[in-house]
Amino acid sequence: GCDSGFGHALAKHLDQLDFTVFAGVLHQEGPGAEDLRMAGSHRLTVLQLDVTNSEQIARTFAKIKAELGNKGSSPLPGFAAYGASKAALAMFSNVLRQELAIWGVKVVTVQPGGFKTGIFGTSDHWSNRHQQLLQKLPPDVRTDYGENYIASFKSKYAKWHNNLREDLQPVISAISTALMARNPKPEYTPGTATFSLPVVHHFLPSCMSDFFTFQLLRTGPEDVPDGVKETG
Summarised one tens digit per residue, pLDDT across range 202-222 is 667 778 878 877 777 665 666
Q: Kindly report the pTM of this predicted structure.
A: 0.56
For residue 37, which of 25, 49, 51 has the smallest C-alpha distance?
A: 25
Catalytic residue among 82, 145, 149, 157: 82
Q: What is the CA radius of gyration of the chain?
A: 21
What per-residue confidence (pLDDT) applies to 60? 87
- In sign, the C-alpha dihedral spanning 219, 221, 225, 228 is positive
Number of domains in the chain: 2
What per-residue confidence (pLDDT) applies to 71? 46
What per-residue confidence (pLDDT) applies to 66? 65
Output 49 or 79, whichever has higher pLDDT: 49
Residues 64 and 152 in one domain: no
Residues 185 and 83 in one domain: yes
Angle between helices 123-136 and 147-162 (to 10 degrees): 160
Residues 122 and 49 in one domain: no
49 neighbors 60 (Cβ within 8 angstroms): yes
Domain boundary among 48, 72, 96: 72
- The parent domain of residue 56 ranges over 1-72
Q: What is the mean pLDDT of the chain?
A: 81
For residue 220, which of 127, 149, 117 has the smallest C-alpha distance?
A: 149
Distance CA(76)–CA(111), nearest Å, equals: 16
What per-residue confidence (pLDDT) applies to 11? 92
What per-residue confidence (pLDDT) applies to 48? 93
Active site residue 145: no
Residues 42 and 54 in one domain: yes
123 neighbors 162 (Cβ within 8 angstroms): no
